[in-house]
Structure 1
Amino acid sequence: MSRPGFSARLVHPRYWPLWSGLGVLWLITRLPYPLLLRLGRVLGWAMYHLMRERRSIARINLQLCLPGWSEAQREALVRENFANYGIALFEMAMAWWWPPKRLARLAHIEGLEHLQRAAAEGRGVVLMSLHFTTLEIGAALLGQAVTIDGMYREHDNAAFDFVQRRGRERHNADAKAVEREDVRSMLKSLRAGRAIWYAPDQDYGRKASIFVPLFGVPAATVTATSTFARLGKALVVPFTQVRLDDGSGYRLVVHPPLEGFPTGDDHVDALRINQWVEQAIREHPEQYMWVHRRFKTRPEGEARPYPKRQRRKRRN
């Protein structure tokens, strides 16, 4: 995909509320980092009280995944999780708009040698990540150090799509955004020895998934990670990023490539991935995106655990 260019249609009045909101967010991110963390927690408190449906989804996910925790423990985790969502909004803005040098001071990166070695050998890399609330800033910080192409889904709002893509691609002139459905371009990049960010931890439906346990619950798990590695002749390199409790920034870890992967058995590979996902989540459960309907696709005959979505009635 070519880099997005600004066009006159993006100043249409229908985009003015978005531009105004983004302008306010840009101004807020001029504040010191510790203050942004505190403001984020306040915003997260408001989100917890206002986003009833998402709050319910998080509670259901935690009941399924952490049944050994007490109800009080899980509710405390839900509240802390929403605080992380509030912080994530400002982290997104920081990733898009902070000066590169200011942003780089927050990075504590480990394991870059694994990506550097793969690049030296001309091996493509599936950089296997997962949906933590620190996803946006983690990708930006790593992108300052090495070239990473990103999986991308075009946003319905053209103005927001422009800002989002420019913000994500600005940290490395050689980085590319690859459409999530554009498998051919992804494989081409992998065969050319490039690294592509990919997260296999969400429910993408029955079509391309198999059921393997996640936290002991059958979960529809994509087999694409194995497919990309096999057809792209690429390494699968796990990557995690978390916000540090002391306010000093973010710990980014590029883990060693998975050995003996893929095995040729999709079930074995998917189970191995879910075990890694589960371990990473357990280390920092408060920073994971629990509001996703991870278990919406169920085995035949099993009911969905989530209530039906409440759709707003259209006005005549």
Structure 2
Amino acid sequence: MDRPKFRLYFLHPRFWFTWLWLGALWLLIQLPYSFILKLGRGLGYLMYPIAISRREIVRRNLELCFPDWSLEQRQHLLRENFASTGTAFLEMAMSWWWPKQRLARLAHIEGIEHLAEAQSEGQGVILMALHFTTLEIGAALLGQKYTIDGMYRKHKNPCFDYIQRRGRERHNLDSTAIERGDIRGMLKALRAGRVIWYAPDQDYGRQHSVFVPLFGVTAATVTATSTFARLGRAKVVPFVQQRLKDGSGYKLIIYPALENFPAQTEEADCLRINQWVEWAVRQHPEQYLWAHRRFKTRPVGEVGLYQ
């Protein structure tokens, strides 16, 4: 995709509110990092009583995934998850607008050699990420160190879309954005030996999915990871990031490429991916994006799990 360009149309009154709240975000992230973290948590706590529908989705997901936890444990995790989500809004702004050197000081990266090793024979790499609340800043921090292309979904607001893409692509001028539906472009990039960020841990419907367990619950799981790896002749390298509790920044961990992937069947591959997702989420469940209706699509004849 071409680089985003500013258009005079973005100054139209219909976008004034967009510029207003983006400007407020820009001002807030001028604060010291320790203040930003506290402010983000406070924002999350304010969202908790207001975002009723999202709160109920999170609550239901925690019931499904942690049935052996007490009600008090799940309630604590629910509130911490909202605090993490509030922080994520400010981290998004940091990743878009902080000076690169200031941002880079927060990165603690482990295993970056696994990306180079996976590419050593000219193969492309699927950087298998997950939808943690730290997703935006994690991609930015890694993008400063390594050229990574990203799967991209165009935002409905063209002004916000411009700001978002500009913020994401500024960290590495060699990186490109590939629209989520551009399968041909995805495969072309992989066959050219590129590294592409891709997260397979959401419910994208029945089409191109198989049903395999996740946290003991049958979940529609996309088969795209297997398809891209096979047709793009690419390796799959798991990647996670976490917000450090001591306030020193973010730990980014890149793991060795999955061996014997893809396997004989899509079901086996999807089960392996879900097992990885479950393990990674259990490490820091409060930082996962639980507000997504992960179990919305049900097998034929099975009742829905959300009201």
Task: Please tell me whether residue 45 in structure 1 is matched to residue 45 in structure 2.
Answer: yes
Query: For 1:137-216, what aligned pairs fall within 5 Å after superposition?
Result: 137-216=137-216
2:87 matched residue in structure 1: 87
Counterparts of 1:94 and 1:55 in 2: how far apart (Å)? 25
Which amino acid letter does the alignment assign opposite residue 30 of structure 2? R
CA drift at 1:251: 0.4
Q: Which residue of 1 aligns with 2:306?
A: 306
**Letter in structure 2 aligned against 1:261:** F
Q: CA RMSD in A?
A: 0.6
1:26-65 pair list within 5 angstroms: 26-65=26-65
Q: Is the 8 A contact 2:29 2:36 kept in 1?
A: yes
Question: Which stretch of structure 1 is more off in the superposition, 112-121 or 226-235?
Answer: 112-121
Report the CA distance between 1:72 and its aligned residue.
1.0
The amino acid that maps onto 2:31 is: L
Spell out, residue by residue over 1:8-41, the C-alpha distance to the aligned partner (whole angstroms, 9 max, x if none).
1111110001101101110110100000000001
Separation in structure 1 between the aligned mates of residue 196 and residue 47 of structure 2, nearest angstrom: 32
Aligned length: 307
> Contact 2:114 / 2:257 at 8 angstroms: preserved in 1?
yes
- The aligned amino acid for 1:229 is A
d(CA) in 2 for partners of 1:218 and 1:203?
Answer: 11
In structure 2, what residue type is equivalent to 1:66?
Answer: F
Hey, what does 1:221 align to over in structure 2? 221
Q: Secondary structure at the match of 1:166?
A: helix
Residue number in structure 2 paired with 1:100 = 100
Aligned-pair CA distance for 1:215: 0.4
- Give the counterpart letter for 1:272 in structure 2: R
Whole-Å separation in 1 of the counterparts to 2:44 and 2:232: 40
Alignment-derived partner of residue 76 in structure 2: 76
CA distance in 2, matches of 1:91, 1:303: 38
Q: Secondary structure of 1:50's match?
A: coil
Partners of 1:271 and 1:147 lie apart in 2 by: 29
CA contact (8 A) 2:212 2:220 kept: yes
* Cα offset, 1:122, TM superposition: 1.3
Q: d(CA) in 2 for partners of 1:221 and 1:118?
A: 25
| TM-aligned CA deviation for residue 121 of structure 1 | 2.3
Which structure 2 segments of 5+ residues have no match? Answer: none
CA-CA distance at 1:70 after TM superposition: 0.5
Shift of 1:303: 1.3
Aligned to 1:258: 258
Task: State the alpha-carbon separation in 1 of the partners of residues 150 and 257 from structure 2.
Answer: 19
5+ residue gaps, structure 1, are 308-316
- Output the CA distance in 2 between the equivalents of 1:179 and 1:124: 18
Give the TM-score taking structure 1 as reference length: 0.96
Q: 1:31-70: per-residue Cα shift (whole Å, max 9, x none)?
A: 0000000000100001111000000000100110000001
CA shift for structure 1 position 264: 2.8
SS of 1:168 mapped into structure 2: helix
Q: Percent identity?
A: 66
- Kept in 1, the 8 Å contact 2:118–2:257? The answer is no
- The letter for the 2-side match of 1:207 is Q
- Equivalent positions of 1:229-240 (< 5 A) are 229-240=229-240
Structure 1 runs of 4+ aligned residues shifted over 4 Å read: none
Aligned to 1:310: none
